[in-house]
Structure 1
Amino acid sequence: MTQSAATPLPTPKERRRLREAKSLTQAQIATKVGVTRETIRSWESGRTAPRGRKREAYAKLLTDLTGRPPARDRNRDQNSARQPEPVAAGAIQVEPVAHIAPAAPGERATWPEHATTAPEHAAGPEQPATRTPVEAFDALYTHAAPLLVRQTYLLTGRRTLAREAVERAFQQAWERWPEVAVDPDPAGWVRAAAYEYAVSPWHRLRPAHRQPEAPPADADDRKLLDVLLSLPPAHRRALLLYDGVGLDLPETAAETEASTPAAANRILNARDAVAERLPELAVPEQLHRRLAELAGAEKLDAPKSALVRSVGEKRTRFWTRTAIAVTTLIVGATALTVRVAPTHYEPVPAPGAPISGVPPLTGPERLTAQDLELRRQLRAELSGGPERLTPAAE
């Protein structure tokens, strides 16, 4: 199921750039469209897409911001989608960005073994039009899953949780495959879902996650992993995306659902924390290299794509049947209540009130000793008397 072509929209990154070019906040855009700020943030990150009248209002607002009709993000040519987007003349300039210098292109895309020929944050291998949804999903899984498991391990420090997060992310992608298939960056969509699941605070309540896992074998790897896990989750994620995966600053901010200055400050604070405990990693290029080495040192293999799809489909069927059963139970309980409920109002009888002048109801008094003796004598005499009385003439 694809979105309607009557209301085309720019890419999520372009939506964010247009808003920042006019120095507008997400709250101001939400007020104009008639939605919440969280909804605008989700639209700009690509997690969800507007529909219906909200989509038309959002597209009209973006048209007013750019002064020209928005390009169709669903039907644009593959080659033009790869070209860098122009920066508007009125785009805001973030002060901390000047302090974050990207590494050399040859070093930024270097990741551990099983890395693909393209960077991990690319849209994935080209998919011919003749591919079925299953083949396209398997190609994306083969392309992104092995490396994504290692990246998630750096984010959580837990091997089991890293595999589980990636599996859940791809299962969610398979459930929403019509949306993911036309996304400009399917691998980024899955990565964002995996990271969101991995950093969820609810994992702390699970008994299996209360026990620490075995640390890396190398002492330097243990130190680096301890430093990463000591960072706040938001700082750790921003550092991994920028210095590990190699995203640029706007993409990092969009994926973490933060403003560009906030993402820049998180990266700088995380770098300072790492450099304070590991001075040799103060240079971003060295930090990127060590992150790649730490991820490559762990032998984390993702399960087969067919298994991920089947487990996801089973889970979907289970929850669908559970929802149907609960709905049926609620409908049945409601019908039974309507059936046995009274059809008219019956007033409650008034509580009784005491009446004066009437003696209280009493029972027989207790027999005294004389009464008991008399009763005994009467019973004894009657039983010992003549059996039959005969009349006698006088």
Structure 2
Amino acid sequence: MTRSPGTPLPPPKARRRLREAASLTQAQLADRMGVTRATVRTWESGRTTPRGRRREAYAELLKTLAEEESAAAEPAAVPVVVAVRTGPGSPAEDTESLVLPAKALPAEERQEDEPEPAPEPVALTPAQAFDALYEFGTPALVRQTFLLTGRRELARESVERAFQTAWENWPEVARDRDPVGWVRAVAYEYALSPWQRFRPRNRHPEPPPADPGDRTLLNTLLRLPPRHRRTLLLYDGVGLDLPETAAETEASTPATANRLLNARRAMADRLPELADPEVLHRRLAEVASNERLRAAKPPTVRVGSERRARFWTRAAIAFTAALIGTTALTLRTAPTHYEPPVSPGETVRGVPPKMAPGALSDEELELRQKLRDQMQDGPERLTPRLE
């Protein structure tokens, strides 16, 4: 019997956006759903999803919030192509064309007399769509990860591993509203993993940038705590707003704001010329653009992802087979009833040895003969006799 799929839910970032658009806090939403605030936080970060009736209620609530948001917004007329900054670097490599509704335009700028025809959708295979996403997002993501870690090889490896994970979960990534952000979050998590410090090649520092100013900026950035460094890079480097930065770092908006302020203050104390966020963004872009950071081709990443998936699948099958064999062997050789353990023998001292029987004395022989001659059933009874 096939189990029916659950009620579809919007992506985690959309859930948080809908809640904030309705001016609801996590505590208020938790009261309406009958759960704790921590549960709502895990739903919005994507770590867990509700099930059963609670999933249906959550989906209905989000649908209602989306309808209220659509009703409050102006109706869309024609699509508008805008540029969104995705990372520090050259403008040609760090912009992404997105189609947004025409509600972003003033009413006088809409051409209602001559509506533009809707662009015809182009059908792409999953491999073609993945290759296009990889070629578009890799240059900026590698530069961002380099600023995050200060290591060129680790930056390249982190981005490639993130895209391999994206190819393994391509149906989910393809439906995400921000696929580059999905890959960026995975790459940052991999690059900042505590296990990276135990790798032999990460124990020795890499050659610093050639320019003294770039070297000073990178060293100052790497002195920040990882969370503050990531928040500063996402907000001042990538260009995300505060709620999006909080959602990607899985933190509350006030905590994200405090991290950003502390990071800016630490950068300004060491480099006063970077107190202006615009100057900081420009300098981060310059430092990242001066490095020659390369990445593999999209087919190589896809093949590596498939190879890694096959390896782990085979490893899981082998482990399962070994576990089943061990269980069967245990059931075959295990005893079927309880056998009490035999206590070990102990030497008892102080008991006299048992004497062997010897020859009978004259008195014993006489007594034995007497016992044999007498009746065994007691003395003879007296019976009356006739005389």
Aligned residue in 1 for 2:250: 257
TM superposition score normalised by structure 2: 0.74
Contact 2:209 2:215 in 1 (8 A): yes
Contact preservation (8 Å) 1:271, 1:282: yes
**8 Å contact 1:33–1:58 — kept in the other structure?**
no
Match of 2:115 in 1: none
Name stretches of at least 5 consecutive residues in structure 1 with no aligned partner: 72-76, 84-104, 361-394
Rate the CA distance shift 1:241–1:128 in 2: closer, same or farther, 3 A: same
Alignment match of 1:348 (pick from 341, 345, 367): 341
Residues 9 and 59, structure 2, Cα contact 8 Å, conserved in 1: yes
What's 2:311 paired with?
A: 318
Cα gap change, 1:257 to 1:17, in 2 (>3 Å): same
- Higher RCO, 1 vs 2 (CA within 8 Å, ≥6 residues apart): 1
Report how far residue 6 of structure 1 moved.
Answer: 7.5
Aligned in 2, Cα 1:80/1:183: closer, same or farther, shift over 3 Å?
farther
2: CA distance, partners of 1:78 / 1:33: 39
Alignment counterpart, residue 195 of structure 1, candidates 177, 188, 194: 188
- Give distance in 1, aligned partners of 2:146 and 2:153: 9
Q: Note closer, same or farther for the CA distance 1:31–1:209 as it changes in structure 2 (3 Å cut).
A: farther
Give the fraction of aligned pairs with identical amino acids, expressed as a percent. Answer: 60
Q: Is residue 351 of structure 2 the alignment partner of residue 357 of structure 1?
A: yes
1:25/1:316 Cα in 2 relative to 1: closer, same or farther (>3 Å)?
Answer: same
Q: Offset of 1:13 from its aligned partner?
A: 3.6
Give aligned pairs, total.
325
1:218-367 map, 5 Å = 218-352=211-345, 354=348, 356-359=350-353
TM-aligned CA distance change 1:69 to 1:55, over 3 Å = farther
2:27 matched to which residue of 1? 25
Q: How does 1:16-95 map to 2 (within 5 A)?
A: 16-20=16-20, 21-25=23-27, 29=30, 32=33, 37=38, 40-46=40-46, 53-62=53-62, 66=65
- Whole-angstrom distance in 2 between the partners of 1:325 and 1:30: 46
Task: Confirm or deny: 8 A CA contact 1:12 1:46 kept in the other structure.
Answer: yes
Aligned residue among 172, 191, 201 for 1:179 = 172
Distance 2:77 2:13 in 1: 16
Q: Which runs of 5+ in 2 are unaligned?
A: 71-75, 100-118, 355-387
Specify the code of the residue in structure 1 equivalent to 2:90.
Answer: E
Q: Structure 1 residues 12 and 322, CA, compared in 2 at 3 Å: closer, same or farther?
A: closer
Contact 2:12 2:44 in 1 (8 A): yes
Higher mean C-alpha deviation, range 346-355 or range 4-13: 4-13
Q: What letter is aligned with 1:25?
A: A
- Work out whether residues 158 and 213 of structure 1, in 8 Å CA contact, stay in contact via their aligned partners in 2: yes
Seen in structure 2, the aligned counterparts of structure 1 residues 243 and 266 have a Cα distance that, compared at 3 Å, is same
After superposition, the Cα gap between the structure-2 partners of 1:30 and 1:13, relative to the gap in structure 1 and judged at 3 Å, is farther
1:128 and 1:162 mapped to 2: Cα distance?
A: 34
Equivalent residue letter for 1:24: Q
RMSD: 3.5
- Cα 1:12–1:204, aligned 2, differ >3 Å: closer, same or farther? same
Distance of aligned partners of 1:333 and 1:303 in 2 relative to their CA distance in 1, 3 Å threshold? same
**Partner deviation per Cα, 1:371-390 (whole Å, 9 max, x = no partner):** xxxxxxxxxxxxxxxxxxxx
Q: Do the aligned residues in 1 keep the contact of 2:88 with 2:144 (CA within 8 Å)?
A: no
Cα distance between partner residues in 2 of 1:190 and 1:78: 31
Shift of 1:12: 3.3
Q: TM-score, normalised by structure 1?
A: 0.73
Q: Deviations over 1:97-120 (max 9, x none)?
A: xxxxxxxx99x7784237437349
**Deviation of residue 130 (structure 1)?**
1.4
Tell me the distance in 2 between the aligned counterparts of 1:52 and 1:137: 33
Q: Counterpart of 2:167 in 1: which secondary structure?
A: helix
Are the aligned partners of 1:239 and 1:270 in contact in 2 as well (CA < 8 Å)?
yes
Q: How far apart are residue 252 of structure 1 and its match?
A: 0.8
User: Per the alignment, do residues 324 and 70 of structure 1 end up closer, same or farther by CA in structure 2, a change over 3 Å counting?
Assistant: farther
Change (3 A) 1:81 1:197: farther
Q: 1:216 pairs with 209, 222, 234, which one?
A: 209
The alignment partner of 1:313 has SS state of helix
For residues 344 and 257 of structure 1, the distance between their equivalents in structure 2, rounded to whole angstroms, comes to 55
Rounded to whole Å, the distance in 2 between the matches of 1:338 and 1:70 is 61
- 1:201 deviation in Å? 1.1
Contact 1:9 1:70 in 2 (8 A): no
Are the counterparts in 1 of residues 152 and 293 from structure 2 also a CA contact under 8 Å?
Answer: yes
- The structural deviation recorded for 1:40 is 3.8
1:255 aligned partner, one-letter code: E
Return the index of the structure with the highest Cα Rg: 2
Shifted more, 42-51 versus 250-259: the winner is 42-51
Q: Secondary structure at the match of 1:25?
A: helix
Which residue of structure 1 lines up, in the alignment, with residue 144 of structure 2? 151
Show CA shifts across 1:283-327 (max 9, x none). 111000000001101110111011111111111111111111111
Relative to structure 1, the CA distance from residue 24 to residue 36 in structure 2 (aligned partners, 3 Å threshold; closer, same or farther) is closer
